[in-house]
Structure 1
Amino acid sequence: MKNNMVIIHGGGPTAVINASLYGIIKEAKMHDEIGKVFGVIGGTEGVLHEDFKEIGQISQEEMELLLKTPGSAIGSSRYPVTDEDYRKMKDIFLKHNVRYVLLNGGNGTMDACGKIQKACEGEEIFVVGIPKTIDNDISSIDHAPGFASAAKYIAEITAEVGQDVKSLPIHVCIIESMGRNAGWITAASAAAREKDGDAPHMILVPERSFNQEAFLKRVKELYEEKGGVVVVVSEGLNDEHGESIVPPVFKTGRSVYYGDVSAYLANLVIRELGIKARNEKPGILGRASISHQSSIDRDEAVLVGRKAVQAAVKEHTGVMIGLTRKEGEEYEVETPLIPIDQVMLYERKLPDEYISEDGFDITKKYLNWLKPLLGEEIPDFINFRE
């Protein structure tokens, strides 16, 4: 009897999570020892409901759609799994003759990956993690699939907003990016600059405490110099005490929901400086946009999906597929197997060397690191005023 495989998605989707699904299905077809390939509908909660859908035999046309479909084609969840749930999962996998378990997600999902592997010890069940997060905060890897497309999105819309503000330079525009605890996406807005003086004119990441006085001083200077100012900020800006600069608007259990940082700062500029200001918050548009999908990101998502199948078939377990850069001028990656306990809930922040000394910008070193991930160049524009 052939052994079956399941794929579980966890946490927020990305523009390329389904590309990893494509890679998994494509690779699974090449291994006779794999029987059915099940997509778990609705993440870890779907396992407990035994909501398995066979996806290994979909048509080539449907396969190709996975490469350009946003969200998760099998659904995801943030279900709070208990120790008892993990034990139940083992029994469910055995019931359905599942020998290979693949989990695609971020820090929380890799934590679940490690716990499922421990629950399945003693059984011939092989558990492999696939990295996925727009936040790029998974440890032990250079970058995660999903990040580059979100980075490309924030860079391109910042370039477009910059042209608009330059055309009518009468206000401060504050763009809020996703990434509550890590500033990788926010920093990527710097790729919008074609030349010195282009937007963004300030970048605020959560790795630096927000200083209201310094912020307002710098905004005032930029406004007096340019007339129109573009600021990109992280949704997770904190004060010197580590508290959000925006008061919470709703609490439920351990979850706290804050107001928009960009709206708070725009109102601050209006109130304290008397300057017209507005805010823009793309929110999940930044992780759902297929039109801004990075080709490199898509290809690497397919790659880690395929590598996960290969690792599982070779009976590796309790590991995550890594993405690391090879040395040399040409951009190439390797996919080492990383022990899952090196990854579980370790959060990777933007390093100091990527943040300017004054905390209001990003260094050239970060942009050199980022450039090959974006795939295509940021579009050029023309402006007859310059």
Structure 2
Amino acid sequence: MTHIDDEPQAASEPPRGRRGRRTALIACAVVVVSAVAVVGALGLGGGEDDGPSAPPRAGSLVPVTRATLTERTQVDGQLGYGTEIPLPVKATGTVTWLPEAGTMAERGDTLLRVDDRPVLLLYGSLPMYRDLGLTATASAGGTASGGETSGGDTAEGAAASGERQSDGGTGKAAAASPSAPPTSTGAQVAEATELKGMDVLQFETNLAALGYTGFTVDETFTAKTADAVERWQKSLGVPETGTVGIGDVIYSAGKVRIGRPGVRLGEAVGENALTYTGTARKVVVNASAGDASWAVRGTAVQVQLPDGKSVKGEVASVGRQASAPEGGSGEDGSGQGAATLPVTITIKDQKSVGRLESGPVTVEYVGREVKDVLAVPVAALVALAEGGHGLETADGSFVAVKTGLFADGKVEVSGSAVRAGLKVRIPE
């Protein structure tokens, strides 16, 4: 009886010849797959066409086109309100109130209080350089005997005529006492003289803008102007003198943002008692003095904020005095430590900045721009054996080119054999 073994027999190894043949077939398959991949990379396969925005593949043909190339450069900047400037405080006395840093002040607002008297902000370009009010001058209006003036009026009648005189203490106009004895012939009589000047026009313009009218806005400080000043002083809770002292107001070009105070409450006021800036946020760039040709007033730039948002800016001013930071020039010749010029950039749309008040930003400007030039992708350039650069055409030949501006991944090219529409190959 024949015994049948239930355990499976081990598979016998194929002959050596078959094993070698199988290895050869696998190798051929790998070669075929590699060839297909190469064909696909060269764009010779039958796949779908790439969209117009798809980057050219290595080995593909691209046309020479006419384009505008723009070279953009980025530099670091600082967002803020600009350099704080001391307010020209001319009041004398003790500081009794100060505003908080960052406070916005406009026309008619109190900037600080000195001896508990407000120092107010007005708009204008002329500084306050004198008191404004009616001035008293002496005139030779002698009287005849018996107290009659040369014109027949008594001294009392002249005093009651309504002319203003300085009281010497407050500056408020007042009439002469009717009980004063008659002046003798040749005596001088005090009369109110109207002050004139561009500073008067500037002040009256502000007074009218604050709602105190009843006078003609011109270069003459009249009795009607003094009346309006008294009404203004009454609303401020100060003595109604009709005269504005040199330390009562400070002029600026517009609204201001209060900076850090230079004094404390209870200290004597000084010229550096309070600082201010403008109310608009701006950017300051310390541009390299040797590469600041881009910084021209009116030049448009892009400002990238810390949150990644980009806003439009414009060069407003360029400093004329170069300064070098501590440490001097960089040893590696990288330009670190080189002299710089401060460049101020304004941002017209303040709302675009949001609530950000300060912080580091990046400023992008156009360093150089060429228009309507022949251009190809930088990757299309090849190094020629005889030197220089060239382009490979569709038929495999090479044409020499002269390169120009490199920007936006493209390069400006020119040469006798280069024309718009010429197909050139991007090497693998």
Is the shorter-chain TM-score for this pair beyond 0.5, marking a shared fold?
Answer: no
Instruction: Pick the structure with greater CA Rg.
Output: 2
Q: Which structure has the highest strand share of the two?
A: 2
TM-score of the pair, normalised by structure 2: 0.20
TM-score by length of 1: 0.21
Greater fraction of residues in helix? 1
